[in-house]
Chain A
Amino acid sequence: MSPTSRFRMLRNGGAQQLSAVPVVSAAEFRETVLRAAHSGLRLSALYARPAKGKTGLCAVLADDAEGVLYVLFSEATDEFRSLTADLPQAHLFEREIAESSAIRVDGHPWPKPVRRSLPDSAAFFREEGAEVHEVAVGPVHAGIIEPGHFRFQCHGETVHHLEIQLGYQHRGVEALLAAGPDKRGVFLAESISGDTAVGHASAYCAALEALAGVRAPLRGEALRAAALELERLANHIGDLGAIANDVAFLPAAAFFGRLRGEFLNLLMSLSGNRYGRGLVRPGGTAFDLPKPMAVDFSARLARGRTDLLAIGKLLFDSASAVGRFDETGTVGLRAAADLGLVGLAARASGLDLDVRRDHPHGLYRFRHIPVVKGETGDVYARAMLRYLECLRSLDFLEGLLPDLPGGPALAPCPAPRPGLIAVSLVEGWRGEICHVAETGRDGRLALYKVVDPSFHNWQGLAMALRGGEISDFPLCNKSFNLSYAGHDL
């Protein structure tokens, strides 16, 4: 029996009847998910769902090699034997299930709340011994950043363990989305993580379109892809500036900081908002990109490339800056795979995955972006990948803009059909964004699950610090630049 034969298969941006998804006992669910994961599939989502008045489970696994997704439900259950010891990438999903449902997760190695209760009320992992000391930071930090608590166990300057406790940003996004679809839905999606407004809005709209059984017109899909790549450019370039700032290489920090704004301004010219808010709507995009604007964009992108190459050369030719990146904050290939890292952080450690190639949806079915990956898993790899991915995104945009598909950018998106489950994946600039939506018999949403790439990747940052120096924390943190709001929802 193949490891996936018990699952229901669907593709990114597709929907299936809820009644067609196999329902197995909790014990069989555990064994089936474990077998599939050990055969090379990745856990994209694992969550509690209503089942006959009680609570069951749902797993969504991604087969990146074949480009398909697998879904499985469990029967209603009161308890579930934890997967985490055998499948570390399940650890945060299981903590979330334990805090948000009636299911007891037995045998979880670190059963703490994720976001629901006051985050710092539970005990932290603590190392004991002579000359061991603890450093506590947050939730309010020294800069203009989001709140989170970091607890370091140190021996001298060396970090033995870092525990990251988030949850301060929890504002109830999933519950508000599940009350839809309503006129507020797409705005909530744009506010899951404000620097990924295009990415999350695209995932939300693709899920609604799958539930309705329609596809956005190709021109709308092309404009979504263009905005997604502009968002990637702005964020990657901003992060390169922040990384340069944290090794005190201020000229590159200043130049990259200015250049980031040029790409935000392109999004503003297109959508009226620097973060692309208002652009992506169910059924396509609310704004079009007329020919003269495309010509103007191409010229601005060409200037952006010239600047990017010059500033990139300045940073990566500077031996003292690169010396600080090399072998700092290393996450090995094995750890990255075990933790289920996604996106840029995973590729920097040598994992070969990218939703745009592995599960293409929308325009990415027709126009491809070469995947770049690193090997060393250190700050250097994450910085260099940002730079290289920017160049790939520029190539993509320069090819796309003069050759946009014709037709309308927006078409009507009817109400969802009842009794379905839809999964949509988008390769946001941090990595895989996963939205799962289920509809009830009345065609209203019955459940809405959001998995931001940060949810997978925060544990990667904790591992990057192991054995490193505590003074490297800001640099390591910037090299990941994860979302607190996307994690906390």
Chain B
Amino acid sequence: MWNVIKTRFSQGCRTSDFPDGPSGLPERFRGRPVVSSKPCPQGCAACAEACPTRAIRTSERAAVELDLGKCLFCTECVTACPDGHISYSTDHRLAASARADLVMSGPEARLARALDAQARRLFGRSLKLREVCAGSCNGCEAELAALGNVVFDLSRFGVQFVASPRHADGLVVTGPVTGNMRAALKATYDAMPTPKLVIAVGACAISGGPFAGSPQAHDGAESTVPVDLYIPGCPPHPLTVLDGLLRLLGRLPG
């Protein structure tokens, strides 16, 4: 017992300052990509060609469109662009309420909107989530589990992961939805009481990620259940997930 108390003192309080303090993310952290609004030289599509998941489209007006839902947050486009039009910021805020809001064509970010007043009254101070992994590599699970540690401490916001869909207000889906998990995912969704939310976490759950087009998978959660919140990343940083959840609950300023 004495040992526990002694170690407790030496370990100190480690909970992050989120959402009040700085995120403290390192310089190389790849958060929200920044696409320059300057036009590219005609015909150069080096970024689109380099992208492993076809997340980038170049249009005839020489504008670049980047789909955060497909993006693996790698460095291929940054390296490929001869003019430095694409770069990464350390901004962890990525979540959006609509699939179309994830497609960026300039510097502006269309972040997740808060639920309506009635839903906020129901879920705003207490949100219970059930997680279903439907073919993820376990990277997103690792970050969702990390939300429960003393640093991110999800439960201080009244959000908790629960053991049964019967106890849940929201379903968190990861993975591209494999053929072998589709029935279990649907059954879990059906077992939840209404009103209910669905949150797609990670590139796989939003678009299939690196597994897009695989005959064994279904290119994301929307193939099987309706989605209310999209949290991009591969995997998303725990702060990205926290930011998305709190925006949905209307607990972060616009």
Residues of chain A whose beta carbon lies under 8 Å from any beta carbon of chain B: 115, 118-119, 139-140, 142-147, 167-173, 175-176, 183-184, 187-188, 190-195, 197, 251, 254-255, 257-258, 260-261, 265, 268-275, 277-278, 286-287, 307, 310-311, 313-314, 317-318, 483-485
B210 touches A187 (CB 8 A): yes
Contact of B7 among A188, A274, A310 (CB under 8 A): A310
A148 CA to B44 CA, complexed, in Å = 46
Complex Cα–Cα for A171 and B176 (A): 8
In the complex, are the beta carbons of B137 and A192 less than 8 A apart? yes
A269 nearest in chain B by CB position = B26
Contact with A along B140-166 (1 / 0, CB 8 A): 111111101111000000000101100
B59 lies within 8 A of chain A by Cβ: no
> Which residues of the other chain, A, contact B141 by a CB distance below 8 angstroms?
144-146, 194
Contact partners of B139 in chain A: CB under 8 A: 191, 194-195, 197, 275
Per CB-CB distance, the 6 closest pairs between chain A and chain B, nearest first, are A194-B139, A142-B163, A194-B137, A172-B216, A257-B149, A272-B28
Assuming the contacts A184-B53, A311-B7, asked whether A271 and B28 have C-beta atoms less than 8 A apart, the reply is: yes
Judged by a CB distance under 8 angstroms, whether B30 is at the interface is yes
Interface status of B138 (Cβ within 8 A of chain A): yes
Contact of A314 (CB < 8 Å), options: B7, B134, B211, B214: B7
A277 to B204, CA, bound (A): 15
Interface contact A251-B217, CB-CB below 8 Å? no
Chain B contacts for A195, CB-based, 8 A: 138-139, 142
Instruction: Please give me the residue from chain B that is nearest to A188 by CB atom.
Output: B210
**Chain A nearest CB, measured from B197 CB (Å):** 17
Which residues in A have their C-beta under 8 angstroms from that of B7?
Answer: 251, 255, 310-311, 314
- Residues of B near A268 (CB, < 8 A) are 25-26, 28-29
Bound form: Cα–Cα A202–B29 in Å: 21
B136 & A194 in contact (Cβ 8 Å cutoff): yes
B72 contacts across to A, CB distance below 8 A:
187, 277
Chain B minimum-CB-distance residue to A192: B137
Neighbouring B residues of A190 by C-beta, 8 Å: 137
Query: A161 vs B31: C-alpha distance in the bound complex, in angstroms?
Result: 47
A168 near B178 with CB under 8 A, answer yes
B180 beta carbon closer than 8 Å to chain A: yes
Q: In whole Å, how far is B12's beta carbon from the nearest beta carbon of chain A?
A: 10
Question: Nearest-CB distance from A311 to chain B (Å)?
Answer: 7
Assuming the contacts A268-B29, A314-B3, asked whether A277 and B234 have C-beta atoms less than 8 A apart, the reply is: yes
Q: A184-B52, A483-B138 are in contact. Are A144 and B131 (CB under 8 A)?
A: yes
Inter-chain contact B142/A194, CB cutoff 8 Å: yes
